[in-house]
Each structure stands twice: as structure tokens, then as C-alpha cells.
Amino acid sequence: MYVITGATGNTGSVAAFHLLAEGKQVRGIGRSAERLQRLAQMGGEVFVADLTDSEALTRGFRGAEAVYVMIPPDVAAPDLRERQRVITESIATALERAQVPYAVSLSSIGADKAEGTGPVVGLHRMEERLNRIRGLNVIHLRCAYFMENLLVQTELIHETGMLVGALDPELRLPMIATRDIGDAAAQVKVSTVGGIVTGLRGAQAVAKAILHSDGAGELRSLRRELNLHLLVRRSLHQFKQEDYSCLLDLLNPGAHESLARFHRDDALRVLWRLCQNQPRLIWLGLRGLLTNGGFPPDGRNGNGA
Ligand SMILES: NC(=O)c1ccc[n+]([C@@H]2O[C@H](COP(=O)([O-])OP(=O)(O)OC[C@H]3O[C@@H](n4cnc5c(N)ncnc54)[C@H](OP(=O)(O)O)[C@@H]3O)[C@@H](O)[C@H]2O)c1
């Protein structure tokens, strides 16, 4: 069962329909059964709950293999930061209580910064809170500025030829269609961690190709990255239980530091650093690729090696 919050929204609805089209079971959460009707008609399960109601969310998340979480925009909130905190806490508590193993969060560009980014600070805090949940495997989609933000200004643009906003007009701002975010969110479980980022980068490359007839470089590096992920995935597919235990044993402090320090999207650099810190990971990976036998060749515990 896949549970989608904001299932009537821009990204949630796309993720839900994408999963339903793949034949998955989907439970969509929103505040109105009426607005969730389209999802029900497509075979989804409707669950009415407010995101501030953690008890209801716990029931809604129960039995979920993965949950898509988001903090809805609320321009009327007298204290936006507090509103974001309440929703984050409610969602996090429900994920904990329902013991959800996987989550994908709708975050934003700039969420790596702890301050100075306005409402995005709330998403930084949401990421930090979700990262602290034991046993939860969470991925944050740090997406760019939504193209749909411009829709409210179409009339103004049409009449005056201008855009109005708080952003520096010279700022080169990456943008994305919310459809692509929902699409990427729905792919998380069927692909690797790299699959999400590559989904978004794929969209970027296509945009470049359309705008400047120049997306070839981006697509080439994307293909290289995908091939690397595929290689890792192939190796992991051959792992037996004892190989996984061995993998955990081999993650020495240096390997842990590399995992924390380097961005997982840069797979080549992470793998290189991991293998520098713990060369026996190369053996483990190769054995996975070439055989499905046990490991390691010279003793079980690689800690501190
Ligand atoms: N705009 C940008 O450029 C940008 C860029 C990066 C990240 N973001 C982030 O994207 C998120 C917003 O995305 P969006 O604007 O596309 O939103 P949206 O999907 O339109 O969000 C609203 C969704 O949340 C549901 N919802 C609203 N309040 C709720 C509540 N109290 N309880 C339960 N469900 C509730 C709504 O359903 P019902 O009304 O049917 O209940 C709807 O499905 C924000 O976290 C924002 O920071 C935005």
C-alpha cells in the first residue's frame, strides 16, 4: 500500500495516478472526500484527514510500504513557521507510530540551508525531523521553483508584459513543472535512489535541448550515472542475508563519514570514497556481480580496516 498526502494537489495527484496506473494499491489523503472522488474512481482508497491530526494520520499511514509527505502551502496562516512545525510534527509522529519503512518528502531547493530562505526554512526543519526517525528510509525531493507559480500572473503578463514578485529579476532560477515532481515521487520505489534525481535531471536536459538545442552533455552524464546505479543494483540483487550483514560490518567510521559528507546524487564520488575507506567493499560488490557466494574472503569483521 502506498499512501499519498496532498493527493488532490499538484504533485500528490500525479504520484497517486502514476502508482495506480502501475497497478499498485494507493490510499490518498486529503480533507475532502468529494475532492478525492477522482482518485476513488481510478481505484484508489480515500482517506479523509487533516494533516494536523496525527492520530488520524497514524491510521492513514498504517500498513503503508511508503508514504509521500508534504506540507501544504497556507498563505492565510498567521504564523507560517509555526504552522509548518505543527504539520511536520504531526506527520513525523504518525510515521513513527505506524512504523512506515519508506517516505518521500516534497522539499525544495534551498532546504539544505538552516536560515535565510523564508518558508523553505520550514522544509529544512521537516527534513531534519524526518531524518531522525529510526527505521525510516526517507528521500527528500528538493525541487526547483514551480512553473505553475506563474499561472496566477498570466493575465498580468498578458496585459503588461511584466512579472511581479519578490525575486531579483536577474536571478537565474531553475524551474520545474509539478507534474515532473509527482512523476519522480512515484518512481522512488521502482528505481534506485538515483532514479529520482535522474528523473528530475532528465527533465532539465530535455528543457535545455528544447531551449538551446544543447542537452547532449547532460544526457551523457545522466546515462553514465544510471549505468553506475544499475551496476550497484545488479550486485545488490545477488546479495544473500549474510552479504547484507557483511556490508553493514564493513561500514567503518570512514565509510560512514563519506556517506554523511557526500551527496548521494554524485554516485561515482560516493563509491570512490567508500572504497578508499574500505577497499573490501570492492570485493563485496564484485562478488555480488560475478557470483552470489558469501563474503569476505579473509574474515567477517571489517570494522576499522
Ligand atoms: N511553489 C514553489 O515554487 C515551490 C517550490 C519548491 C517547493 N515547494 C513546496 O511545495 C509544497 C506545496 O506544493 P503545492 O503548492 O503544489 O501544493 P498542493 O499540492 O496544491 O497542496 C495542497 C494539497 O494538500 C492538501 N491539504 C491542504 N491543507 C491540508 C490539511 N490541512 N490537511 C490535509 N491535507 C491538506 C490539499 O488537499 P485538499 O485541499 O483536498 O485537502 C492538496 O491536496 C510546499 O511545501 C512548498 O514549500 C513549492
In the chain (305 residues long), the average pLDDT of successive 10-residue segments reads 97 94 94 97 97 98 96 94 98 98 92 93 96 90 90 92 86 86 73 52 71 73 76 81 87 83 73 90 87 46 29
Strands (E), 14-57: 26-30, 45-48
Strand, helix or coil at 3? strand
End-to-end CA distance of the chain: 41
Atom of ligand 1 nearest to the CA of 120: 47
Q: Is 267 in the pocket of ligand 1 (CB under 6 A)?
A: no
Give the type of residue at 29.
I
Ligand 1 centre distance from Cα of residue 1 (Å): 22
Cis bond leading into 296, ω under 30°?
yes
Ligand 1 centre distance from Cα of residue 6 (Å): 6
Ligand 1 centre distance from Cα of residue 133 (Å): 23
pLDDT of residue 87: 98
Looking at CATH, the fold of the domain delimited by 2-188 is given as: Rossmann fold (3.40.50)
pLDDT of residue 224: 79
* Domain spans, the chain: 2-188, 210-291
Mutate to test the pocket of ligand 1, among 37, 108, 180 (most ligand atoms within 8 A of CB): 108
Cα separation, 155 vs 90, whole angstroms: 38
Q: For 44, which DSSP code?
A: P
